[in-house]
Amino acid sequence: MQHFRARMKLVSIFSALMASTFATNVSTVYQFPNGTWAENIAAMGNGSLLVTTLDTAQVLIVHPQGSPASSSVIATFPNATGALGITEFQADVFAVIVAKLVPGNATNPQSFSLWKLDVTAKGEGVKVSKMSELPDMAMPNGMAALNHEMLLLADSTYGNIAAYNVSTGKTEVVLEDPSLAANLSAPGLQLGANGIKFHNDYVYYTNTAQALAGRVRVHPSTGRPNGFFETARDSTFNGPDDFAVARDGSMYVCAPLAAPLGDKIHHIELNGKVTTIAEGGLVVGSTSSTFGRTEKDNSTLYVSTMGGFGPDGTAKAGGRVIAVKLH
Ligand SMILES: *[C@@H]1O[C@H](CO)[C@@H](O)[C@H](O)[C@H]1NC(C)=O
Ligand SMILES: *[C@@H]1O[C@H](CO)[C@@H](O)[C@H](O)[C@H]1NC(C)=O
Ligand SMILES: *[C@@H]1O[C@H](CO)[C@@H](O)[C@H](O)[C@H]1NC(C)=O
Ligand SMILES: *[C@@H]1O[C@H](CO)[C@@H](O)[C@H](O)[C@H]1NC(C)=O
Ligand SMILES: *[C@@H]1O[C@H](CO)[C@@H](O)[C@H](O)[C@H]1NC(C)=O
Ligand SMILES: *[C@@H]1O[C@H](CO)[C@@H](O)[C@H](O)[C@H]1NC(C)=O
Ligand SMILES: *[C@@H]1O[C@H](CO)[C@@H](O)[C@H](O)[C@H]1NC(C)=O
Ligand SMILES: *[C@@H]1O[C@H](CO)[C@@H](O)[C@H](O)[C@H]1NC(C)=O
């Protein structure tokens, strides 16, 4: 642990020099209209992508293999204002966090619910149903499946990670650590635990206010800790949002804050090395990412964006899905 942390200081100097020298091929898959904030993204086994939007409570499906790629609304949620984390937890069954927020009050408890999108019935459309209200959570944001029965939700306001049992519909806090905490006294970004993924018995996470990424080994059936919390910080790292984990356990983290703070995608390797792999241009306002799941696109990182922050702090364009080819 200490070694891992100590290493970060050296790495931060090194990576500042290395930043933005990495050549990647970045292209637009789909441009959404103005006002669309693409918040989170999940790849389907059949090659399509599911994208949640924060400005409207819906899930869009994007078909990247078409030329041009196409998109349509696949699910809407009644009486709600936006959608956040999305994850597959059984084959072709996805869970989605849905928000019903009072404008200007993003931390209003009891305004979130969990919904199920079942796309298993081919050709018969999508079955959309409510799984539960989430009364014990203040701001569920990122979400990952631990297994078919348990979901993990990062609460950005309470600064912890809760496990949701699909059978009981109940949540219970399973991960608590200073590295997950929000900073409710910060004048700017206050969000703690934000993005979350589960890979090879490790829960990976980002903390937006503390500008760090971390991981902890957990018990694969409960999500409770089974090791130390390891964290990576870097001087180039600001306002990290959601991310993807590659097969080798490294992270591809979106940093949507306006340049020069963010507008970057960082690669964090297991040895602690942090590199900026893409910056500015199409990458502005990136919110989350996922690897494609077909043979053709399993080394393509698909990224959702909110369009980039303008000088007044609002979106300067419609969000997108972009593709970052890594090989
Ligand atoms: C980048 O990808 C595009 C679309 O797949 C392709 O047309 C172009 O040749 C690629 N450019 C490089 C430098 O690989
Ligand atoms: C994947 O499945 C969804 C849901 O059945 C369907 O709408 C979509 O067209 C499929 N995508 C491809 C590329 O076949
Ligand atoms: C939407 O909210 C209104 C007012 O709270 C309520 O009357 C209505 O039943 C709700 N509709 C649904 C589908 O939940
Ligand atoms: C936001 O929601 C909380 C909890 O319901 C409430 O205490 C607070 O007054 C609300 N703030 C605003 C600005 O509406
Ligand atoms: C919270 O933010 C304040 C103001 O930026 C800062 O002084 C403080 O160190 C932060 N606390 C933590 C725990 O990061
Ligand atoms: C989830 O709830 C079911 C039904 O009560 C229970 O049998 C199971 O052990 C629970 N799973 C976990 C990981 O707690
Ligand atoms: C991508 O798919 C190919 C073909 O199935 C496989 O050989 C390769 O290992 C996969 N790569 C990754 C990163 O999953
Ligand atoms: C979208 O918003 C941008 C920035 O405000 C503006 O320049 C552009 O004209 C808008 N496009 C449409 C189609 O409204």
pLDDT at site 107: 62
Q: Which residue has the higher pLDDT, 214 or 106?
A: 214
d(CA 177, CA 169): 24
d(CA 83, CA 68): 26
pLDDT at site 109: 64
**pLDDT tens string 178-231:** 999 999 999 888 999 999 999 999 999 999 999 999 999 999 999 999 999 999
pTM: 0.90
End-to-end CA distance of the chain: 32
Q: Which fold has domain 2-326?
A: Neuraminidase (2.120.10)
The domain locations on the chain are 2-326
Residues whose CB falls within 8 Å of the CB of residue 76, separated by 6 or more in sequence, listed in order: 56, 57, 58, 128
Atom 5 in ligand 6: residue holding the nearest Cα: 168
pLDDT at site 81: 93
**pLDDT tens string 261-288:** 899 999 999 988 899 999 999 999 999 9
Q: Which residue has the higher pLDDT, 102 or 37?
A: 37
CB contact at 8 A, 278 and 266: no
Mean predicted confidence (pLDDT) in 82-103:
94
Q: Is residue 22 over pLDDT 70?
A: no
Mean predicted confidence (pLDDT) in 319-323:
98
- Tell me the CA–centroid distance for residue 132 and ligand 4, in Å: 22
The owner of tokens 């086994």 is 45
- Tell me the CA–centroid distance for residue 144 and ligand 6, in Å: 17
Ligand 1 is surrounded, with C-beta below 6 A, by 25, 27
- Tell me the CA–centroid distance for residue 154 and ligand 8, in Å: 33
Q: Which residue has the higher pLDDT, 11 or 67?
A: 67
pLDDT at site 108: 65
Residues in the chain: 327
d(CA 94, CA 227): 29
Range scoring the smallest mean pLDDT among 57-71, 89-103, 112-126, 200-214: 112-126
- CB hemisphere CA count around 47 (13 angstroms): 11
- Tell me the CA–centroid distance for residue 30 and ligand 2, in Å: 16
Closest by Cα among 294, 202, 288 to 248: 202
Q: Is residue 88 over pLDDT 80?
A: yes
Q: Cis link prior to 68 (omega < 30° from 0)? A: yes
Q: Is residue 136 over pLDDT 70?
A: yes
Ligand 3 is surrounded, with C-beta below 6 A, by 78-79
pLDDT at site 327: 75
Query: What is the enclosing helix (H) or strand (E) of 78?
Result: none
Ligand closest to the CA atom of residue 179 = 5
pLDDT at site 14: 34
How high does pLDDT run on average in the chain? 90
Ligand closest to the CA atom of residue 295 = 7
Strand-pairing partners, residue 231, are 214
d(CA 165, CA 188): 34
pLDDT at site 125: 81
d(CA 227, CA 203): 11
Ligand 7 within 6 A of CB of 296: no
pLDDT at site 11: 34
